[in-house]
A and B are shown apart, each in its own frame.
Chain A
Amino acid sequence: EDKVVQSPLSLVVHEGDTVTLNCSYEVTNFRSLLWYKQEKKAPTFLFMLTSSGIEKKSGRLSSILDKKELFSILNITATQTGDSAVYLCAVHSGGSNYKLTFGKGTLLTVNP
C-alpha cells in the first residue's frame, strides 16, 4: 500500500524564521510529488516535482525532490503570519496516475 509520511506533524515558529517541512514516501511506480497549502478553505497548489535535484522556487517557498532517498522538503524563508496553514504532501503513483495519496500534513503556526 502506498504511504506518504510528513514530519513534523506540527511546528510553531516566530516571524522571520526559516522552516523545513519533510515528506517521505513509499509508493509503487512513482510519477510525481505535489505540495499544497491548506488554510480553512481549498488546498492551494504550490509545487509539482518529478525530477530529482531540481529545485522549484516561488518567492520565499522552495522545494526539492530526492528520488533515490524517497523524500522531498519544502522550505519557507522569512516566515510571515500568513504562512500559517497545513502543508500537505501528495504523490501520484502506480498504474492509477491520477490518484493522489496524501500525507497527514504539517500544521505550521507562525507567531508575530
Chain B
Amino acid sequence: GAGVSQSPRYKVAKRGQDVALRCDPISGHVSLFWYQQALGQGPEFLTYFQNEAQLDKSGLPSDRFFAERPEGSVSTLKIQRTQQEDSAVYLCASSVRDRGLTDTQYFGPGTRLTVL
C-alpha cells in the first residue's frame, strides 16, 4: 500500500509570501502529525490531529502557522507571510490509532521550504 505522501517536495518562496503544504496520510490512519526539521537538527513537533480534530497545536511557532484536516484525511499546513527562519523541511507523519495508545508514526518524504 501507499505510504505517506507530501507535496510539493520542494518549495521556494519569497519572504512575505504565503505557502501551503499538503500531506496525504496512509489510508485509514486516525492520527496525523506535522514536524519541522531544521538543517542538522531532529524533527520538532508542530501539531497533531485525531481525525479532523486538531488536538494539539502547541508546537506551532507563531500565529502565521495554521493547519487543517477538514475531512479527517488530507491535511494542509499553511504558513502566512513567510520569513527566512521558516526555511526547513516540513515532515508529515500518520499512525493508525488514536492518542490513547503509543503507536508507530510513519513519515512522508517531507517538503523542503526555502524562503529567500
Contact = CB atoms under 8 A, between A and B. Distances in A.
B66 to A, nearest CB: 19
A105 B42 contact: yes
B99 A88 contact: no
Interface in A56-112: 88, 90, 92, 96-105
A104 B45 contact: no
A19 interface: no
A20 B85 CA distance: 34
A36 interface: yes
A50 B107 contact: no
Which residue among A4, A42, A45, A103 has the maximum number of chain B CB atoms within 10 Å of its CB?
A42
Interface string A34-62: 10100001111100101000000000000
Nearest to A34: B104
A32 B104 CA distance: 10
Chain A interface size, under 10 / 10 to 19 / 20 to 34 / 35 or more = 20 to 34
Contacts, number: 69
B48 interface: yes
B106 A45 contact: yes
A6 B43 CA distance: 13
B110 interface: yes
Contact of A50 (B41, B42, B102): B102
Interface of B: 3-4, 31, 33, 35, 40-45, 48, 56, 59, 91, 95, 99-110
Interface of A: 4, 6, 31-32, 34, 36, 41-45, 48, 50, 88, 90, 92, 96-105
Given A45-B106, A98-B31, 15 more contacts: A4-B42, A31-B102, A42-B106, A42-B107, A42-B108, A42-B109, A43-B107, A97-B99, A97-B100, A98-B48, A98-B95, A98-B99, A99-B33, A101-B45, A105-B41
